């Protein structure tokens, strides 16, 4: 049952009844419409230093207690804060810290409270923010994003993709992605064949679906139709033009589950190889196509252990009839 504090008018009524009548505490409570224990507790807690009950000072005392009770993190002990600091320095996440403290029979604190203390700089915890995995200056709001990620029209999930694509025995099943330039200056569109690890990449002006489609179509004009079977994207809106792209190239398009980047693990890895040539913050608007082409050739002609030390170029071009003349 919730307890409702007496209002200022009710305190005035209690005062007047006590001063002008000889009513008992029970009778006063009945007049005010409150429980007897409520009135007794009110008078006992909010008396002045002289022992008198005054409505104005009583109301001020109540407000002071309420303000004090709202002091942030007042229930978190010094020992708990010490433990949090020590464990953050070991790169434990707030969730891991909260769970471990509970398991060890120590302080019970939620991981949300730990995050709030860090971002509020309670007891100097702000400097420990650098140990957080993401290291953001503020927490990302939950459920407040208006992004339509994962809501691409006509989207077909990866669970419907032919099983042979996962077997990696047939050339023509591609994983696709984009690499964004520093300060969103330009983009590199990347496509990697799952069986051969052969990389196709092109420079784009921006991350719009029309630009991504344009770059992809230009790069795939040299790829035989027999090696265009499927493409698998993440759920970025730059791939919302998949229907037009699939129709133009004569292939089927599929999408990974939202935030399941490992379902395109080969492409993620290959983008990492490209980053050796074009580190983060690189302005792709000033990168020359010749520089990208050189990097792609070096990657495609690098021996791979998973290909028995053949190169992607050898598997994709030389081991496949009709593709030995490709220059990509």
Q: Which two tokens stand for residue 323?
A: 């593709």
Q: In what order do the strands lie in the sheet with 252-255?
A: 199-204, 187-193, 173-180, 230-233, 252-255
| pLDDT for res 138 | 58
| pLDDT for res 62 | 81
| pLDDT for res 149 | 47
- Residues in the chain with pLDDT values less than 50: 1, 143-150, 324-325, 327-328
Mean pLDDT, all residues of the chain:
87
DSSP character string of 152-202:
-TT--BGGGS-HHHHHT-STTEEEEEEEEPGGG--EEEEEEETTT--EEEE
| pLDDT for res 83 | 92
d(CA 328, CA 294): 10
d(CA 155, CA 239): 10
| pLDDT for res 1 | 44
Q: Supply the pTM of this predicted model.
A: 0.56
Q: What would the pLDDT profile of 165-221 be if each residue is shown by its tens digit? A: 999 999 999 999 999 999 899 999 999 999 999 999 999 999 999 999 999 999 999
Q: What would the pLDDT profile of 89-122 be if each residue is shown by its tens digit? A: 988 989 999 999 988 888 889 999 999 889 888 8
């Amino acid at each position: 049952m919730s307890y409702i504090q007496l209002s200022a008018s009710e305190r005035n009524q209690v005062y007047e009844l006590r001063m002008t009548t000889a009513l008992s505490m029970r009778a006063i409570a009945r007049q005010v419409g409150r429980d007897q224990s409520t009135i007794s507790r009110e008078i006992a807690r909010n008396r002045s230093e002289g022992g008198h009950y005054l409505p104005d000072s009583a109301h001020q005392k109540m407000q002071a207690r309420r303000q004090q009770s709202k002091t942030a993190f007042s229930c978190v002990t010094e020992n708990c804060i010490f433990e949090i600091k020590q464990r953050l320095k070991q790169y434990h996440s707030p969730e891991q810290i909260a769970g471990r403290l509970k398991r060890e029979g120590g302080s019970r604190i939620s991981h949300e409270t730990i995050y709030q203390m860090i971002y509020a700089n309670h007891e100097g915890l702000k400097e420990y923010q650098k140990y957080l995995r993401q290291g953001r200056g503020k927490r990302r709001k939950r459920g407040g994003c208006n992004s339509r990620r994962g809501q691409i029209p006509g989207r077909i999930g990866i669970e419907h993709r032919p099983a042979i694509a996962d077997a990696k025995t047939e050339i023509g099943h591609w994983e696709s992605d984009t690499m964004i330039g520093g300060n969103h200056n330009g983009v590199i569109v990347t496509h990697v064949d799952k069986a051969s690890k052969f990389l196709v990449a092109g420079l784009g002006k921006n991350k719009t679906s029309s630009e991504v489609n344009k770059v992809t179509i230009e790069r795939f004009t040299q790829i035989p139709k027999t090696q265009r079977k499927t493409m698998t994207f993440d759920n970025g809106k730059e791939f919302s033009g998949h229907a037009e792209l699939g129709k133009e190239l004569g292939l089927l398009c599929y999408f990974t589950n939202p935030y399941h980047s490992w379902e395109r693990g080969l492409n993620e890895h290959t983008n990492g190889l490209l980053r050796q040539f074009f580190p983060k913050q690189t302005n792709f608007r000033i990168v020359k196509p010749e520089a990208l082409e050189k990097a792609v050739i070096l990657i495609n002609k690098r021996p791979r252990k998973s290909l028995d030390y053949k190169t992607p170029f050898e598997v994709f071009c030389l081991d496949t009839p009709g593709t030995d003349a490709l220059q990509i």
